Structure 1
Amino acid sequence: MKRAVAWLLVLSIGLVADDCWDDDDCWHDHHCDNFFVVPPPPAGPAADLNVDGFADVVIGAPLHDGGGPPGSQRGAVFVHFGSATGPSAAPSLTIFGQEDGARFGSSIAFVGDVNGRGAPDLLVGAPLDDGDGNTSENGIDRGRAFVFFGGPAMDATPDVVMTGAEPGAEFGTSVARIADTNGDGFDDWIVGAPFDDGDGNATDEGTDRGRAFFFYGGSTPDGVPDVTFTGPEAGSQFGFAVDSAGDINHGGAEDIAVGAPLDDGDGNATDEGTDRGRVYVFFGGSALDATPDLILTGDENGAHFGASVAVVLDVNNDGVDDLLVGAPLHDAGGGAGANRGRAYVFFGGSPPDATADVTLSGTVNGGSFGAAVSRAGDANGDGVWDFLVGAPLEDPGARTDAGSAYLFFGGAGVDGIPDLTFTGAEAGAHFGAAVAGPGDINQGGRDLIIGAPLDDADGNATDDALDRGRTFVFFGGSGGVLDTTPDATINGPQNGARAGSAIGN
């Protein structure tokens, strides 16, 4: 039986039935009603897909029907080009999933210029795509990921198609840009498949070690992985979260971070079920290999450390990139089973070490703080990088599961105290399930984006279970992002679409 990470069922798109959310057995059951796993989107670079000088907003709606019959849940991605007045109100480009039940748009990343043509490109995951080219759903769930080349004439036809190697692998659960790891002038990318058994067989034995597949860019990039990373422990769901680690070892090349939130953290290949979680870091360079160079381990059983990872660049202003890791089921001092959540900042160095330098803790029982993490650019305009942490199950203003997101300013004395708090306006919205700082959308300063995939988008503070989803944009300025009032709100176009589950970053 495949095991899914409990928090992820609610941290991103909440695709498990409401009556399952308090049932731990159900949370760990791949076959739970409406079950699906989606991590928060990884942090990445600012992206101007159409090369007009403005960063763009890209929103995933994995339960949208995507041009299929009602209830088909093919998934959709909506691209809103930036402008001097903000993101376009209506999508500038709509991309649909190709198969019923594919959940296209579950993960999204701007991947830089992978083909060397002068425009950023877009990577989208569809982890429940069967990978057989049919529009009907056969339950194979190999998973797929798609690269769409950017440019002024960007369209909805994928330019590179990648398919999971094994049934049930859910390839495309996570995606990320890894810049130019090997120094060939082309940006690279990575795709996670947390339910791959990691044995190289084309059959699904259910061991779920997990894998992550790395692809080099090139003038004609293809869908064949160049390096394959494999989880060392059964059931670890290695590849559930992936991202660049920046140049965390100050070695001159982009490094890679892979989260394994159900890794027991004891170094054994068998699954004892302690689920502390781990993050494996692989140092980049021309000789990139599949042996981890640094291993970070959760400090509490059941914390699911590594459920989210993000390079946050240099938040302590020492000249070396840093890494942010979420552990959304950590009790954080609230007692057994509190699931307040934590996030940890690991400063880079030469060499970096496995000891967290800053610990951030949720304060609300069941809040799942750390479910989503992202760099935020220089949000306050002080010249130092900042970062975001989502807590989508917090209850601000007594609005159950409305969700929160927290902005932390970087600096030499960066600490675990949030500097700005954003809150969901509707009960059950799961605001903070996705957080991003993609760049300057309106040419006024670094902007922030926060997704609320279960927001009904009807303006009511009560939960009417429409679940269209909403995405909120907060503009920066010369003084940074200094208030919590959204400057643009983008509503999901269909009941149940859960737009805002993933945000391009």
Structure 2
Amino acid sequence: MRNKNSVLGMLLAFIALPALSSFAAVSLLQSFTETNVSGNSEFGHSVANAGDVNNDTYDDVIVSAYAYNNDTGRAYIFYGGSSMNSTADVTLTGEGTGHYFGYSISGAGDVDADGFDDVIIGAFGYSSNTGRAYIYRGGSTMDNTPDLIMTGEAMNHFFGFSVASADSLIDDTYDAVIVGAYGYNSGVGRAYIYHGGSSLNGVADLTIDGVTAGDLFGKAVASVGDVNNDGYGDVIIGAPGKTSNIGGAYIYFGGAGMDGGADVTMDGEATVPYFGFSLSSAGDVDDDGYDDVIVGAYGNDTVTGSAYIYRGGSSMDGTVDFTLLGVDLGSYFGYSVSDAGDINGDDYADVIVGAYRLGSYRGRAYIYLGGSTMSTTPAAIVTGTMSYDYLGRSVACAGDVNKDGFADVI
């Protein structure tokens, strides 16, 4: 039995070769350990970039431990810096046992436009799985009191199972957030969008519903940047239960006329189930001025899993442009996907894909470099060191935590 409170949060830095399209090595920049905690906290279950919550020009990261203290849950913010350390700078704790606070975490952008980035944390178990999500405003002395609490509509909706920034959907001033509730209406699922503002409230500005019971729409939500380059941010919502677990995902364009109708629909392959369980912006992998998206389908014990990249464009459709394939059966390649920023400084965004079940659950993460003709061969592979490390269960771009000009991943 592993100690799940050991070093599960690992910040990786990429050592680049200047002016070249490849990099020399991947190295461990910082590891994070949860200390003085008894039991199984699941530290490192979710990791994310937190933006710059203290406005010191270094990107920060957030790591969760949703099972802390009988599933009360915690999340830890670590400030970036030239000499980053493993001591949490801000500790956020859930309200009660069984809430699973921190099962989902994300940077929230700057919802109140005060110059400090904010974070959002989900707690889907609140009040018999009604669920909640919490926004914490950043600041020079950020505290651990939530500034906004959003609550689901009814029991077993699992509101807060997924949370994300939605960037600026209707203007360039305030960032929005999106929260998923995949259990809504017998598993049809629903997603809630909340626009930022100088005075926040817990009333959703837009709700978007799935189509069919069992679709699990909203099990994953993410910002995808601006895929159609119209100046408004866009969002993607996954429905991994669609069509008997083949899965689907839907993109919604931001703008004054944003409604609940999908602008792009993507469907999975029958041979690789659970498409849409994970999804993310991919950045601009081909540097054409349109942001791109990545969607994972981790499959099952008899398949290797896949991740799919879709290029943005003025007439974006649901046709896959690049398919990244797992190698090992049952490794759950694609369980987690994310943009990786630009790790080698070539102006093309890169992506990272996790396969946490590989090798007795040691886990593995694969990094792919963007380019005008993107390679589907990983440029770097990071593998867990011990059985049940679950490395790759969650992957994310960390921003540039040490401000060396190259993106880092966690």
SS in 1 for 2:44: coil
Query: How far apart in 1 are the matches of 2:281 and 2:211?
Result: 23
Q: Percent identity?
A: 37
Instruction: From 190, 198, 202, give the equivalent of 1:278.
Output: 190
SS in 1 for 2:28: coil
Q: CA RMSD, aligned part only?
A: 1.5
Instruction: Indicate if the aligned counterparts of 1:250 and 1:348 stay in contact, CA closer than 8 A.
Output: no
Shift of 1:88: 5.0
Which residue of 2 is the match for residue 107 of structure 1? 46
Query: How far apart in 2 are the matches of 1:92 and 1:189?
Result: 23
Give structure 1 stretches of 5+ with no counterpart. Answer: 1-69, 131-139, 198-206, 265-273, 332-337, 457-465
AA of the residue aligned to 2:105: V
Which residue of 2 is the match for residue 488 of structure 1? 380
Shift of 1:71: 2.3
Instruction: Give the number of equivalent residue pairs.
Output: 388
Which residue of 1 is the match for residue 116 of structure 2? 186
Instruction: Indicate if the aligned counterparts of 1:107 and 1:124 stay in contact, CA closer than 8 A.
Output: yes
SS in 1 for 2:121: strand
1:445-499 deviations in whole A, cap 9, x for unaligned? 311111111111xxxxxxxxx121110011224x2x6110000000111111110
Is residue 430 of structure 1 aligned with residue 332 of structure 2? yes
Q: 1:87 to 1:402 in 2, by over 3 A?
A: farther
Is residue 160 of structure 1 aligned with residue 90 of structure 2? yes
Is residue 442 of structure 1 aligned with residue 344 of structure 2? yes
Instruction: Indicate if the aligned counterparts of 1:87 and 1:488 stay in contact, CA closer than 8 A.
Output: no
Counterpart mapping for 1:352-363 below 5 A = 352-363=258-269
Instruction: From 258, 275, 299, give the equivalent of 2:179.
Output: 258
Q: 1:120 to 1:128 in 2, by over 3 A?
A: same
Which residue of 1 is the match for residue 390 of structure 2? 498
Instruction: Indicate if the aligned counterparts of 2:272 and 2:305 stay in contact, CA closer than 8 A.
Output: no
SS in 2 for 1:240: strand
Shift of 1:363: 1.8
TM-score, normalised relative to structure 2: 0.92
**Could you say which structure has the higher strand fraction?**
2
Query: How far apart in 2 are the matches of 1:87 and 1:187?
Result: 32
Which residue of 2 is the match for residue 340 of structure 1? 246
Counterpart mapping for 1:28-427 below 5 A = 70-75=1-6, 76-85=8-17, 86=23, 88-98=25-35, 99=37, 100-130=39-69, 140-197=70-127, 207-250=128-171, 252-264=173-185, 274-331=186-243, 338-364=244-270, 367-393=273-299, 400-427=302-329
1:355-409 deviations in whole A, cap 9, x for unaligned? 1111100121561000100001111121110000000006xxxx82310000000
Query: How far apart in 1 are the matches of 2:134 and 2:389?
Result: 28
1:140-198 deviations in whole A, cap 9, x for unaligned? 2100000001001110000100111011101010111112111111011111000011x
Query: How far apart in 2 are the matches of 1:181 and 1:87?
Result: 38
Instruction: Indicate if the aligned counterparts of 1:424 and 1:431 stay in contact, CA closer than 8 A.
Output: yes
SS in 2 for 1:379: coil
Instruction: Indicate if the aligned counterparts of 1:87 and 1:442 stay in contact, CA closer than 8 A.
Output: no
Query: How far apart in 2 are the matches of 1:231 and 1:215?
Result: 18
TM-score, normalised relative to structure 1: 0.75
Query: How far apart in 2 are the matches of 1:150 and 1:252?
Result: 25
Shift of 1:254: 0.3
Give structure 2 stretches of 5+ with no counterpart. Answer: 18-22, 398-410
Instruction: Indicate if the aligned counterparts of 1:196 and 1:211 stay in contact, CA closer than 8 A.
Output: yes
Is residue 469 of structure 1 aligned with residue 335 of structure 2? no
Instruction: Indicate if the aligned counterparts of 1:250 and 1:351 stay in contact, CA closer than 8 A.
Output: no
Instruction: Indicate if the aligned counterparts of 2:272 and 2:298 stay in contact, CA closer than 8 A.
Output: no
Instruction: Indicate if the aligned counterparts of 1:80 and 1:88 stay in contact, CA closer than 8 A.
Output: no
